[in-house]
Structure 1
């Protein structure tokens, strides 16, 4: 499971979550040699509580016999008695689940499929690797445990969940604000635009996840009001940027319910005209799933916006099941590649092939390609080599309020960061 033939020094890994030391790690693998190698590696990282199981059945029996599960389970997929897929299906039913690191000698496509299954089952997945796992990859996976467990749990999310009255009040007071994540041109490494993201901080100072308030707005017919409220803020910010000589294009998400609202296109067009912003500086991002909710309404809204000069982006491209069909029937100007095809692509040939295919599709259709979720230099360089037009992600910039965007560009320019050059009307 672990390759110890590496130049990495097996020293204790700094900043591992306390749970890893207190609750330990379970290694489930039918190979005694792989279990031994994993045990040595974990011990070298400073983890003394290491539990071994030779198959899935033995692992589950041990979990049933203890009050608290280990923090992490390193799980092989190919095992006698009970394979790793069965183990994942079983632990998904547990009230308290260990986080999981998958290891397998199978091909990368199969490993990726099982990883997707695990996440869909609600299991915290720290990594999925082909055997033998490099100690550096294992260290990274274990280090991410803190971030994984820091995500709000069900109880925390329930406590943050707003009710309808709170949402209405937030809309009336414009408390749901816009943050912007910069996108970079991968040829010039200049700012090519920003994506507008909805952010809501409640009266207690807690950030309410969009996954909680956007479905609430959709359920109660307020998604159009939310969209227009955000658009008004965006247009004001754009005018402020223009006054400072920064002509920054903005991308805005439109939900499936928004597309079905008959008068929304008119409201958008009127507001943009009133603020004097050219339509081609604004792109509306629409997910593939939104396109099949109400096809006639979606076609009408998208076509009207495109007719007026707005950009239309197909968001999360590749996550649906009819991408080529959607590209042929909708007037898209941009193809946005989902993070799931960017992450791990430098190391996995099949992901590189999918990524290249998506970029080539955009090139053949003459539309812009944008990759989201770029977090490593290797991902950035791969996208550049494949001819992707633009990218965004935490490696490049995190979302920030509109009032801070110009300052961010100025600070980056002073530090001679190449992508901080001012934009002009000619860009």
Structure 2
């Protein structure tokens, strides 16, 4: 399971989450040699609690007997009695389950399919690799444990909200805008930020965008939400400009926003009123939004592009007609979905798709942006393939506008060092 050809004495840089240190890792593989090498590698990483199981059935039985669930399971796919796919299906039924790193001798297309299945089942997938796994890849996978955590993505109980509460929040301007920086992979400077709506209700609960954005769309509030975000962005941009930082901003537009007849006029007028040049703003639009109301989408996007705004196709590759969309719409940016970044350094199949997307952007003369970058290996690969920009937790988490200048002054240089080390 772990490459014995790579010296495990050359311990990769680790920043292990405390859960891994406290709860340990379970290795599930029918090969005693692979279990031994994985165990040895994990011990070298400083993980003292390592469980082993020779097949899936034994692993599930052992989990049922443990008083504390392992934080991570290193899982083989091809095993007797119960294979890795069945184990994933069993894990999905558990209230508390470990994150998973897949390792298999199967072909990359099959491993990729199983990885997609695992994520669809709600399992936290840290990586999916062909055997033998390089210790550096395993270290990167373990380092990514819980990187998507925090108050915005993890909830222990259902959040009760409705359209009336959302309307009140919009009227009182309590939905805040956070910004996630993007790094130019050629100059290593900040290329811009993505604006992200964040809502904390009166009870102090963070309401995820996956809840309040569909709610806004359903109840005719999405236009108000879009313009509220835009107003905050314009104010923040003026504040940054006063400090000498001319930072471009990307804003998400939903499918329902594109269908609103007067939205383009509202956006154009507000931007002119605030004195911000249009070319400093980009609107990100998902592929799914482009097929819901084609005439309206084309009208809104074309008008914004005509005025000088950037237009980005977001989550590129997750729709069913990406090539057709690129031919129809005047995009200036192609944003590659996280699903084509994760695991690409270790999977030729995914790497080929990623390379194709980047080359497509290059041929069309538009900027390619990789989102969701979490490891140095991913960053190195993106640079080697010619991707122009990157964003993700490795570089920066979303932050309030008032913190961005401090991040640029204090945190940007260390991030540039990470980039240069990864890309050197």
Settle same-fold status: TM greater than 0.5. yes
Separation of aligned partners in 2, 1:222 and 1:366 = 36
Q: Deviations over 1:94-125 (max 9, x none)?
A: 33433322110112232122111101111122
Partner of 1:368: 367
**Contact 2:183–2:191 at 8 Å: present in 1 too?**
yes
What's 2:95 paired with?
95
Decide whether the 8 Å contact of 1:21 with 1:49 is kept in 2. Answer: no
- The answer as to whether partners of 1:72 and 1:99 remain within 8 angstroms in 2 is yes
CA shift for structure 1 position 178: 1.5
Contact 1:124/1:148, CA 8 A, preserved across alignment: no
**8 A contact 1:20–1:72 mirrored in 2:** no
What's the secondary structure of 1:238's corresponding residue? helix
Matches within 5 A, 1:247-326: 247-326=246-325
Are 2:131 and 1:131 equivalent residues in the alignment? Answer: yes
8 Å contact from structure 1 (residues 190, 418) kept in 2: no
Aligned length: 415
Instruction: State the partner residue of 2:333.
Output: 334
Stretch deviating more after TM superposition (167-176 or 348-357) = 348-357
Deviation, structure 1 residue 18: 4.8
What displacement does 1:383 show? 2.8
Q: CA deviation at 1:70?
A: 4.6
User: How far apart are 1:268 and its partner, in Å?
Assistant: 1.4
Q: What residue is the counterpart of 2:353 in the other structure?
A: 354
CA contact (8 A) 2:341 2:378 kept: yes
Distance in 1 separating the partners of 2:254 and 2:311: 13
Moved more, 316-325 or 214-223: 214-223
List alignment gaps of at least 5 residues for structure 2. Answer: 419-424
Shift of 1:146: 5.4
- 2:421: which partner in 1? none
Question: 2:156 aligns to what SS in structure 1?
Answer: helix
SS across alignment from 1:370: strand
**8 A Cα contact 2:199 2:207, kept in partner:** yes
**Cα drift, residue 192 of structure 1:** 2.5
Distance 2:108 2:374 in 1: 21
CA contact (8 A) 2:261 2:296 kept: yes
Partner Cα distance (2:111, 2:326) in 1: 29
Q: Shift in Å at residue 351 of structure 1?
A: 3.1
Structure 1 residues 212 and 148: CA distance shift in structure 2, 3 A: same
Cα distance, 1:213 vs. partner?
2.0
Distance 1:15 1:417 in 2: 22
Tell me the residue number matched to 1:390: 389
Q: Take 1:147 and 1:404, find their aligned partners in 2: how far apart are those partners?
A: 20
Structure 2 counterparts to residues 194-273 of structure 1, below 5 A: 194-273=193-272
Q: CA deviation at 1:370?
A: 1.7
Contact preservation (8 Å) 1:17, 1:145: no
Hey, what does 2:422 align to over in structure 1? none
Verify the 8 A CA contact 1:56 1:83 in the aligned structure 2.
Answer: yes
Task: Output the CA distance in 2 between the equivalents of 1:191 and 1:153.
Answer: 25
SS, match of residue 7 in structure 1 = coil
Q: CA deviation at 1:176?
A: 1.0
In structure 2, do the counterparts of structure 1 residues 105 and 162 end up closer, same or farther at CA, with 3 Å as the change threshold?
Answer: same
With the length of structure 1 as denominator, give the TM-score of the two structures.
0.84
Secondary structure class of the residue paired with 1:346: helix
Which residue of structure 2 lines up, in the alignment, with residue 47 of structure 1? 48
| Aligned equivalents of 2:17, 2:400: Cα separation in 1 | 32
Q: Name whichever of 404-413 and 84-93 sits farther off.
A: 404-413
Where 1:267 maps in the other structure, the secondary structure is helix
Counterpart CA distance in 2 for 1:366 and 1:310 is: 16
CA distances 1:129-182 after superposition (whole Å, capped 9, x unpaired): 2212334444554455455787788762514x5333322221111111112222
SS at match of 1:158: coil
Distance 2:304 2:17 in 1: 50
1:145-224 map, 5 Å? 145=145, 156-159=156-159, 161-224=160-223
CA shift at 1:360, angstroms? 1.5
Structure whose alpha-carbon radius of gyration is higher: 1
Residues 42 and 50 in structure 1, CA contact (< 8 A), matched pair in contact too: no
Cα displacement (A) at 1:333: 1.4
Measured in 2, the distance between the counterparts of 1:48 and 1:383 equals 35
Classify 1:397/1:108 alpha carbon distance in 2 versus 1 (closer, same or farther; 3 Å).
same
Shift of 1:375: 3.3
Q: Deviations over 1:229-258 (max 9, x none)?
A: 011111122223333443322211001121
CA contact under 8 A between 1:284 and 1:312: conserved in structure 2? yes
Aligned with 2:106: secondary structure? coil
